Amino acid sequence: MARDYYGLLGVGRGASADEIKRAYRKLARELHPDVNPDPAAQQRFKDVTAAYEVLSDPAKRQVVDLGGDPLAPAGGGGGAAGDPFGGMGLGDIMDAFFGGGQGGPRRGPRSRTRQGEDALIQVELTLQECSTGVAKDITVDTATLCSTCHGNGCAPGTSPSTCDTCGGSGELQQVQRSLLGQVITTRPCPVCRGFGEVVPEPCQQCHGEGRVRARRVVRANIPAGVGDGIRVRLAGQGEVGPGGGAPGDLYVEVREAVHERFTRDGIDLHCTVHVPMTTAALGTTMSLATLHGAQDLVIQSGTQSGTVLTLRGQGMPRLRGSGSGNLHVHIEVVTPTRLDSRQTELLRELAVLRGEEQPELAARGHGGFFSRLRDSLAGR
């Protein structure tokens, strides 16, 4: 009786060649003796391998579809039923377990020239520089192109030569025998480190690296509106890569210095202005120095301590886009702490005129607020 080869692989009679191969791959990974030592699994592995050998061959598959068994002793043609691989090619077995041929495609030698890394440097700016933008000459220590070998790593008058060990491929292959036949593994050549070529006489200045560390000055154009932690990218000003590879980028990170008068909140600025008590009461117009020049600050009569006056457009410029923030001026009214006799008398008269002094309490020695203030200052 003919065996059900389709059933062994778990596919229908109309399955395509790709479907049959995928089914076999899945079962082979589960049942191979190296993975599953169960004797029953080993026997089933032989069966599904034989089924794949039959159904992957159009002539043998036709025999099965006509009701015959091409692996039966009298079935005519093909391999023997006892052959666990049923005449399968090594490529099919390797493809089932390793996903693509005998050891995979060769990668070839690695390039000795590689992209350089990015570099980062910090620069301190004043608030004024952050506001207006500034061009800074920055000293950096980075890898630069070797001036002797110009990146190839060889001493003058010499050049790289093909590696004799790997023949320039950068790889070595090792062949091992297993139950599946020959297994080919590939590893980088230990002599040339996968480059496929060696440097017989390294450059004395860079020791074969093609780059050296050097100090240089870079001009950085810092735009207006930057702030603490903002990074400005200078393309191609970073580290030169090994073998003279293209340099990376240089990032300049801003560190904003503390200002003696202004504090920053995004694009807005804040400052505190101390106003004498009499000025706050009478009102005045005073000149205030801002980052954009002197501005008139109008103090209305009766201004209280804690009042916030806003000067629009006197803050920091936007880093991206147009316009500027505002300057918020916090008013702090200053009360005098030292009064002479005349000043005390005048303030007492003012208090009486405003109804803030209580004569009857003053007659009893208690006095009003200014009397008590005067007495405390006099040490009584």
At residue 287, what are phi and psi to the nearest 5 degrees?
-90, 130
For residue 226, give the nearest of 190, 266, 183, 272 by alpha carbon: 266
Gap between the terminal Cα atoms of the chain: 128
- Sequence length of the chain is 380
Q: Is 130 annotated as a binding residue?
A: no
Alpha carbons within 13 angstroms on the beta-carbon side of residue 38 total 7
Residue ranges of E strands in the chain: 119-125, 134-145, 161-162, 171-178, 181-188, 197-198, 211-222, 231-234, 250-256, 263-265, 268-276, 284-290, 293-299, 308-311, 327-334
For residue 45, give the nearest of 61, 30, 60, 23 by alpha carbon: 30
Measured between alpha carbons, how far is 353 from 137 in angstroms, rounded to an integer? 65
Q: Which residues of 124-140 are buried (b: 16+ CB within 10 A; e: fewer)?
A: ebebebbbeebeeebeb
CA distances from 62 to 55, 81, 129, 153, 272 (A): 9, 18, 85, 64, 96
Q: Is 271 annotated as a binding residue?
A: no
Measured between alpha carbons, how far is 161 from 200 in angstroms, rounded to an integer? 7
Residue ranges of the annotated binding site are 146, 149, 163, 166, 189, 192, 203, 206
Residue ranges of the annotated binding site for Zn(2+) are 146, 149, 163, 166, 189, 192, 203, 206
